[in-house]
Amino acid sequence: MDLRLGLILFLGGLWVYLLDVIRDLTLNEPTHAALFFLGFVHFVVLAYLGLSLASLYSAGLADLGGVRQPIRWAAPIDRILFGTWPVVLVALVLSFAVTKLGFPDAWRAFVLVFFVVGLAYTLLYHAVFRTTPLGKVFVAWSPMLGLFAGLAIGYFVYLPIVAAFLADVEVTTDKEFYTAQDTIVVSAKPGGYVLRPTITRVSCGLFARSDPPESTLSIPPDEHFGESFIEVDFRPQAIPLKLREFHYLRILPRGESGGSERP
């Protein structure tokens, strides 16, 4: 039980840490070579976190009331959880090494190597390791390639959903306070999870720009008319949703001056 709790705490902390790293890279370095790989590792950690929670739940049910109760799905979950992680870890390390070799389609090479490791282990397990003491340490669940396929397919389902859910836009302005006579300089940068959303429109008062560039925009006073917010429309890459972000402005009353710069 203590091992399962420790595993849950470790995987949960690792999942939160990787989420923060991925979101920061998506916002500031969207072409980073490791971004796709980190997203996949993040998904694998989530899968094993789910298995750990299910294993802990089954162990708790089995010990409920001090009476051992047979749970049919407990043993397969424990075998997958504790038996497959060494092979998956080796596959991830080798796949990541391949992505650093500079292939044009690094993500395809990553997936290919991941499957090759799964196939190699499956063949070696049945041909050599199954009857050895070393083989008994690993899971006796034979279709290792099925687990690898499930992780790969699951990631391509998981990625667009999470990317759409976490799609965001970081909106910044050149000053903290404005008057109705000031020109507002605004920057809108898409962020989120691995797949950056596309900004489709920036508007403020009568000012409106469709498909704006990822650079600063100047909104003159005769177009914003002292409007209190900037509206940014954006769309996730994989799922055609229309999302909107509001950035509220601090417009000072007439007669006061705003010169406070943002740090």
| Contact between 79 and 140 (Cβ < 8 Å) | yes
Task: Yes or no: say if 185 and 173 are a contact pair by the CB < 8 Å rule.
Answer: yes
The whole-angstrom separation of Cα 47 and Cα 154 is 9
3-state secondary structure of 210: strand
Confidence of residue 260 (pLDDT cuts 50, 70, 90): very low
| Digit-coded pLDDT (tens) for 125-182 | 666 666 666 555 555 445 566 777 788 888 889 999 999 999 999 999 988 888 888 8
Give the C-alpha separation, 124 to 184, whole Å.
65
User: Which CATH code for domain 168-251?
Assistant: 2.60.40
What HEC string does 148-188 produce?
Answer: HHHHHHHHHHHHHHHHHHCCEEEEEECECEECCCCCEEEEE
Q: Report the C-alpha gap between 97 and 92 in whole angstroms.
A: 9
Picking from 194, 185, 183, the residue whose alpha carbon sits closest to that of residue 238 is 194
pTM of the model: 0.77
CA proximity to 19, closest of 49, 41, 48: 41
What are the tokens at 65?
């009331």
Tokens at 134, concatenated: 């070393």
Q: Sort strands 177-178 and 250-251 into parallel, antiparallel or unpaired.
A: parallel
Domain with CATH 2.60.40 in the chain: 168-251
Can you tell me the distance from the alpha carbon of 136 to that of 82, in angstroms, rounded to the nearest whole number?
12
Which of 97, 96, 95, 4 lies closest to 48, judged by CA?
A: 4
8-34 pLDDT tens trace: 888 889 899 989 999 999 999 888 877
